[in-house]
Structure 1
Amino acid sequence: MKNNYNSEIWKEFRDNIIESDGYKCTACGKESSKTILQVHHTKYIKGRKLWEYASEDCVTLCKGCHAMEHGKIKPNYGWEYIGDEDLGGLIGECDNCGSHIRYIFHIYHEKWGALQVGTLCCDNLTDSREASNLIESVRRFESRKKNFINSMKWKSSKHFHSTKKNLFDIEIEEIDSYFCLTIHNKKSKKQYSTLELAKSSAFEAIESGKFVEYCLKNNISLPNKFKINNKL
């Protein structure tokens, strides 16, 4: 037997649920005076009529939120952040608003699937600051790197450049057409085509903590002051 949405018994049951939820959508909060309210079954049991459910299995939703719940229109809540990537330029497009984006944030909804969106849309749909926090972190990292590269603390001669970062000695030597990087007396096997690339590599290794991890893993003594600060 098909469910009858026009039956008096369903209308009475529906009205009771809506009254229990305070005459407003439980998802977006819109009141009955501003929208059409409907009752959504959180689960369906084969053979049961619409009104043959426990009240706890039914919730009041506005027409829009009800359509989102059934995947008829794209939901504006319930999304989960699952990853991100940097395209290196404004060559991407947000699946939600269509704007050009550099940083893509992958989000997922169990009833809609996956989207690739920009910072603002990611924050709005996931109801979080996942994207904004990441962008702020990237900008802070890039700003620090720029300051390190251009620092007045670099001591330079014709083929030799040196400084300190986080108590580590950093030396960059120009050999023929490439630059060689040494951090804390550990010479990198990689050859860099420019001085800026060598400086960037030194910054990233120390800023990210990877060089500290390398030292600890290989039983390389850290600077004394560094070890003291770590114990505090």
Structure 2
Amino acid sequence: MPSKDWEFIGEDDLGGLDGECEYCGKELRYTHMVTHPNWGTMIVGEKCCDNLTESTVGSEQHVEFSNYVHRRKTFINSPKWCILPGGERFIERAGIAIEIVPAHDGSFRFNLDNVKGQGIHATLLDAQISAFDYVESGKASEFLAERRRRLTEHNAVNGAIFSGQIHVSRDSKNFRTQR
């Protein structure tokens, strides 16, 4: 087995001591996946990951992952959740208003800044985790910024049409705009 040139790929939390390091045989909860061009992929523990990659990537990723899990637990259990009589829940995270809405069938979805979410989640916890992950990843901010940009563009075009700056004419087959 090569002792150099290993590369870190990712990590996972198994939830219990359900894994085993393929390098030293130790029981694992947190697994780190490493790969080598001449060996393939291996599941190892934090220290073996650091040794094989000749870095502290395993330790750093573990700390980062632990912090992420702590932030997610804090978000889910936050006393800042506002719960309405209909079961709707509200909280703000990273400047984004998050609303979790129960459906009649017992499922849940989340809305961001009053934009209705498309995903259906079986439980409240699933919806909370999904909302947290979406906001935390930065994808929610990207989505909302793009949506605002499109709405601004749309409103500018409509404003120009209604103010007479753009003339819309229609013949039998085509729409045309003229300035």
TM-score between the two structures when normalised by the length of structure 2: 0.71
Identity %: 32
- The 3 A distance-change label for structure 1 pair 194 and 220 is farther
Q: What does residue 164 of structure 1 align with?
A: 92
The alignment covers a number of residue pairs equal to: 145
Q: What does residue 186 of structure 1 align with?
A: 115
Q: What does residue 116 of structure 1 align with?
A: 43
Contact 1:79–1:125 (Cα < 8 Å) also in 2? yes
1:71-150 alignment, distance < 5 Å: 74-76=1-3, 78-86=4-12, 88-89=14-15, 90-102=17-29, 103-108=31-36, 110=38, 113-114=39-40, 115-150=42-77
1:87 Cα deviation from its structure 2 partner: 6.1
1:217 Cα deviation from its structure 2 partner: 3.3
TM-score between the two structures when normalised by the length of structure 1: 0.56
- The 3 A distance-change label for structure 1 pair 184 and 190 is same
Distance 1:218 1:145 in 2: 26
Provide Cα deviations, 1:199-222, integer angstroms capped at 9, x if missing partner.
11111111110111212333459x
1:151 Cα deviation from its structure 2 partner: 0.8
Equivalent AA in structure 1 for residue 114 of structure 2: N
Q: Point out where structure 1 has 5 or more consecutive residues left out of the alignment.
A: 1-73, 222-232
CA RMSD of aligned residues (A): 2.1
Contact 2:8–2:57 (Cα < 8 Å) also in 1? no
2:146 to 210, 217, 224: 217
Contact 1:171–1:182 (Cα < 8 Å) also in 2? yes
Q: What does residue 205 of structure 1 align with?
A: 134
